[in-house]
Amino acid sequence: MWPQQFDYQRADSVESALAAIGDNGKFIAGGHSLLPAMKLRLSTPDQLVDISRIDALRGITNGNGNLSIGGAATHAEIAASAAVGAACPALAQACGMVGDQAVRNFGTLGGNIAHADPASDPPTALVACGATIHIQGVDGSRSVSAQDFFVDLFETDLQDGELITSISLPDCSDCQCAYVKLPHPASRYAIVGVAVCLKMDGDTCAQADVAVGGATVKAVKCAGAAAALVGSSLDDAALSAAAAALSDDIGDWLTGDVAYPEAYRSAMAGVFLKRAISAASG
């Protein structure tokens, strides 16, 4: 609970932040992932560059069928955003389930995904909803899909010195999407979290995207489960088939611990897939 010594400076632009970060610096926005790690001395940066007041990283816009969320937008802002609620309710729901209100008031989406805690909620929704992560470094900017951004346990595609500037999602106003989770009773992180995004053609599911987190070392896109839903009327047989396919989808990425073993999490992924579809359809 006593971090090592570090320097702190506040940046007023993305460019100045990138210039200041140095070899062993860390960007800090809300600090709700970074500071606990520093207090436990699991993370020992020699300086923090505060990006929370950079206007270019704030704000949520929706234009041309594209929802754009600043990297330093807080979970609370996203959860309360009418634009997010309309375009991608699953993400609003996921951000509304992060920590508690005080955490959501400080914690940011960019910081959350950079940390890539496998049990955090937003990554699962971002992967299901086809988000794109926009990244800037001193050598320029690039974009990567959420699915490719999350690489492994606490591991992302983000390189040293790079900054997440924004996260964009296709406007999915004509979709039905939802995020549900089974929270860990201690931390309220997801033991399993499932996001679904469905496009219905009458009673038939025309398109489906499914992602799972919590039970897995990273947010995993579940193509098999999605395929089992497409073309169905989301009847019991299709849901059971999707749940069965889901356990194959996540099999390589499954994780567990003494309290909540892999077998339990795998079974709950199927249960919460059904609950997510029910929530999306409801």
Partner 1 sequence: MSTRIFGSGIKRREDPRLITGEARYTDDIKLQGALHMAVVRSPYAHARIVSIDSSAAAGLPGVRAIFTGSDIDLAGLPTAWLIPDSDLKTPEHPALASDVVRYVGDGVAIVLADSRYQAQDAADAVMVDYEELPVVVDPHEAAQAGAPQLHADVEGNIAFRWVMGDREAADAVFAAADVVVSERILQQRLLPTAMEPRAASAQYNAATGELTLWCTSQNPHIHRFIVSAVTGLPENKVRVIAPEVGGGFGSKIPCYPDEALVSWAAMKLGVPIRWAETRSENYLTTIHGRDHVQFVDMAASNDGKILGVRATVYAGMGAYLSTAAPGIPTILHGLLYVGPYTIDNVFCESIGVMTNATPTDAYRGAGRPEATFLLERMMDKVAGALDMDPVALRRQNLIPPFADGYEVATTLIYDSGDYEAAFDKALAMAGYDDFRAQQAQALQEGRYLGIGVTAYTEMCGLGPSQVAGAVGFQGGLWESATVRVTPTGKVQALIGASPHGQGSETTLAQIISSELGFPVDDIEVIHGDTTETPMGWGTYGSRTTPVTGAALAQASRKLKEKARVLAAHLMEANPDDIEYADGSFSVKGSPDQAQSIQDVTLMAHLAWNMPEGMDPGFEESQFYDPPNFVYPFGTHIAIVEVDPVTGSIDLQRYIAVDDCGPQINPEIVAGQIHGGVVQGVAQALCEGVIYDDNGQLLTGTMLDYCMPKADMFPNFELGETVTPSPHHPVGVKGVGETGTIASTPTVYNAVLDALSPLGVAQIDMPLTAAKVWQAIQNANGGN
* Contacting positions for partner 1 (CB under 8 A): 1-5, 40-41, 182, 184-187, 189, 191, 257-261, 263-264, 267-268, 271
Contact 79, 57 (CB under 8 A): no
CB nearer to partner 1: pick between 206 and 263 = 263
For partner 1, which is the closer residue by CB, 201 or 258?
Answer: 258
For the bound state, the minimum distance from the C-beta of residue 275 to partner 1, rounded and expressed in Å, comes to: 9
As a whole number of angstroms, the distance between CA 77 and CA 63 comes to 18
Least distance from C-beta 186 to partner 1, angstroms? 4
Question: Which is nearer to partner 1, 79 or 88 (by Cβ)?
Answer: 79
- Minimal distance, residue 42 CB to partner 1, in Å: 12
Give dist(CA 186, CA 257) in Å, integer.
14
Nearest in space to 50 (alpha carbons), one of 13, 18, 14, 9:
9
Shortest distance, position 123 Cβ to partner 1, whole Å: 18
Residue 124 beta carbon to partner 1: minimum distance, rounded to whole angstroms: 18
Phi first, then psi, for residue 28 (nearest 5°) are: -130, 135
Of the two residues 58 and 104, which places its CB atom closer to partner 1 in the complex? 104
CB-nearer residue toward partner 1: 23 or 100: 100
The residue (of 241 and 267) whose beta carbon lies closer to partner 1 is 267
Separation of alpha carbons 110 and 119, rounded Å: 16
CB of 188 to partner 1, least distance (A): 8
Identify whether the C-beta of residue 123 lies closer than 8 Å to the C-beta of residue 218.
yes
We find the least distance from the C-beta atom of residue 185 to partner 1, in angstroms, to be 5
* Closer residue to partner 1, CB minimum distance, 115 or 199: 115
> Residues near 151 by Cβ (< 8 Å), separated by ≥ 6?
116, 157, 218
Beta bridge partners of 156: 150
